[in-house]
Amino acid sequence: MTTEVKPSPRERLLDAAATLAYQRGVGVGIEALCQAAGVSKRSMYQLFESKGELLAASLERGAAAYTAWLLPTADDGSSHRRRILHVFEQVEAQAAVPEYQGCRYLAVQIELKDPSHPASRVARQVKEDLAGFFRAEAEQGGAGDPDLLARQLILVFDGASARAGIGADDLTGLVTPTVGTLLDAAGLP
């Protein structure tokens, strides 16, 4: 006989923070987080110093899965150009999902406006890692200015995910050709 193991209060809080912060924004109240997790406020404060620490832990926990979904595998054998385009194809596909509200890591940085906030620091690191991926691929692919190209790609990534997240644009057929033009201009075959 197998019994289903109920997630721990910590896991339930992390899940609630991930879901509610994405749906409602980082201003979601502690009451709502605790209610969704089925955990008392007292228990929450025993597990996390603050709501900010809970949000940061939730973002950090989701970062590996986000990166695994977004980036191609290290040994996929694709060209550097193809590897960069893969990222934008993933965003285009995700943006078509009705529940898509943009990049959660960008949203946290915009909403909090405080670079020293624990959740902002996690979000910034995820975005810096993505820029690092773009920079490395651009450099290995022979781009004329890998740093500039990485910055341009992050700009397109953030702009595309933000516009799709607020329902202002359909990314289908828009983002990948735009990125292709940038890659051509940078000399990335």
User: Is the Cβ–Cβ distance between 54 and 13 less than 8 Å?
Assistant: yes
Q: At 115, which helix (H) or strand (E)?
A: none
User: Is the Cβ–Cβ distance between 151 and 158 less than 8 Å?
Assistant: no
Domain spans of the chain?
9-185
User: Per residue of the chain (189 residues), what is the pLDDT tens digit?
Assistant: 567 788 999 999 999 999 999 999 999 999 999 999 999 999 999 999 999 999 999 999 999 999 999 999 988 999 999 999 999 999 999 999 999 999 999 999 999 999 999 999 999 999 999 999 999 999 999 999 999 999 999 999 999 999 999 999 889 899 999 999 999 999 999
> Model's pTM, two decimal places?
0.92
Among the four given CATH numbers 1.10.357.10, 3.40.50.620, 3.40.50.20, 3.90.1210.10, the one describing domain 9-185: 1.10.357.10
User: Is the Cβ–Cβ distance between 105 and 126 less than 8 Å?
Assistant: yes
Distances (CA, A) of 174 to 1, 92, 163: 52, 9, 12
